[in-house]
Amino acid sequence: MMGVREHFKGRDLLSLHDFTPEEINTILDLAAGLKDGQKKGKPCSCLAGKTLGMIFQKSSTRTRVSFEVGMYQLGGYALYLNAADLQLGRGETIADTARVLSRYLDGIMIRTYAQSDVEELARYADIPVINGLTDLEHPCQILADLLTIREHKGGLAGLKLAYVGDGNNVCHSLLFGCAKTGMHMSVASPPGYQPRAEIVEKAKTDAAATGSRIEIATDPVEAVRDADVVVTDVWASMGQEREQDVRRKIFAPYQVNEELVRHARPDFIFLHCLPAHRGEEVSAQIIDGPHSVVWDEAENRLHAQKAVLALVMG
C-alpha cells in the first residue's frame, strides 16, 4: 500500500483522462477498502494533522459534506473557503492564491465554473489540487458512480452505460470513466446539446486501449437499448437557470421514465448525481423505484473521495 501511495502522492485530480485504467482501479479498490473499514469500526487515520482547503464558487450539498466528513474520518481537517470571502473576490490572482495556500494547506479542493481556473490553480500550487466540479468535468462524481456500479454489478468491463440528457460535465467525465474501465457508453442528447467534440475524441482515444465503445446519438431508445446502467442529470445546470424553460421543451423527449427503460436490461440500475427534478429529467417511478441506486451513489461520494484524499495527500 505504501508503494501505491507514493505513486499517487502529490498528484492533482483535474480530469479522469489524466489517469490510467490501473490507477482508476487502484482508487476504486482503496475506496471499497476504506468503506468496509469505516463500517466495521476500523477507520483509517492516514491524514492525521493534514488540512484540506475547500474553495467554493458554486454551492453544494454532497461535495461539501462528503469532503468535510471524509477529511474528519481520515484524521484530518477540512477548511471551508467561500470564494467571495477570499482575496480572489477582490482581484487577487489565482496564481498568487495558489502560492499562499500552498504555505498553509496540504491539499485544495475547488468547486468552480471554469476548468481553466482549476488548471491554473494546480499549475501554481505546490500541493495537490482536486477538481470538485467545473462546467467541463466532474471527476469525483464519476469515481463514486464507478464504485456504485462495481458494487451492484460485480465489475465494470463489458457493461453498457446509457446516458440520456444534456452533454454536460457529468457526461464528459462519464465518457472518460467508461473509456478507462472498459465500459461501453451510449449518449443520447438533443442536437446542439451533445458532449463537446474534443471530449468525445479524447474518450474514444482512451477507449481504444480498453476495448470500450463510445457512441453519441440523438435517439434515447437506441442509447438505452440493452443498457446495464442508465444515467441522467438535470436539464439546466447551475448558471443555466435562465435557459430552464427553453431546455424543458427541448429535453422533454429525453425523460428517463418507465416507457424508456423498458428497452434496458431487466436488471438495469439507475444513477443520478443529484439534485434531481422529478417529473423533468426523471420520473418519480424510476428514481424512487427498485432499480434506483442513487442513495448508494450519493454515499459513495464520501468513500471515493476519501480514497483520492488518502492517495494524493497521504
Average pLDDT of the chain to the nearest whole number: 96
The binding site for L-ornithine comprises 169, 233, 237-238
CB 291 within 8 A of CB 227: no
Domain parsing of the chain, residue ranges: 1-137+301-313, 139-297
pLDDT of residue 90: 77
- pLDDT (tens digit, 9 = 90+) per residue, 127-138? 999 999 999 999
CATH number of 139-297: 3.40.50.1370
Give me the residue label for grid cell 456500479: 149
Question: Which superfamily is assigned to 1-137+301-313 in CATH?
Answer: Aspartate/ornithine carbamoyltransferase (3.40.50.1370)
pLDDT at residue number 7: 79
Reading phi first (left if > 0) and then psi (alpha if -120 to 50, else beta), residue 55 is in beta
Grid cell of 72 as nine digits: 474528519
Residue 64 annotated to the active site? no
CA distance 186 to 118: 28
- Catalytic annotation, pick one of 228, 301, 303, 305: 301
| Residue 231 DSSP SS3 | strand
Separation CA 91–CA 113 (nearest Å): 17
Are 13 and 174 contacting, i.e. CB atoms less than 8 angstroms apart? no
What's the one-letter identity of residue 278? R
- What is the Cα–Cα distance from 306 to 35, expressed in whole angstroms? 9
Choosing from 141, 145, 272, 303, which is the catalytic residue? 141
Q: Specify binding-site residues.
A: 60-63, 87, 111, 138-141, 169, 233, 237-238, 273-274, 301
Q: Annotated catalytic, 111?
A: yes
Residue 238 binned pLDDT confidence (cut-offs 50, 70, 90) = confident
- The region of weakest confidence among 105-109, 215-219, 240-244 is 240-244
Per the annotation, the verdict on 138 as an active-site residue is: yes
Same fold, 1-137+301-313 and 139-297: yes
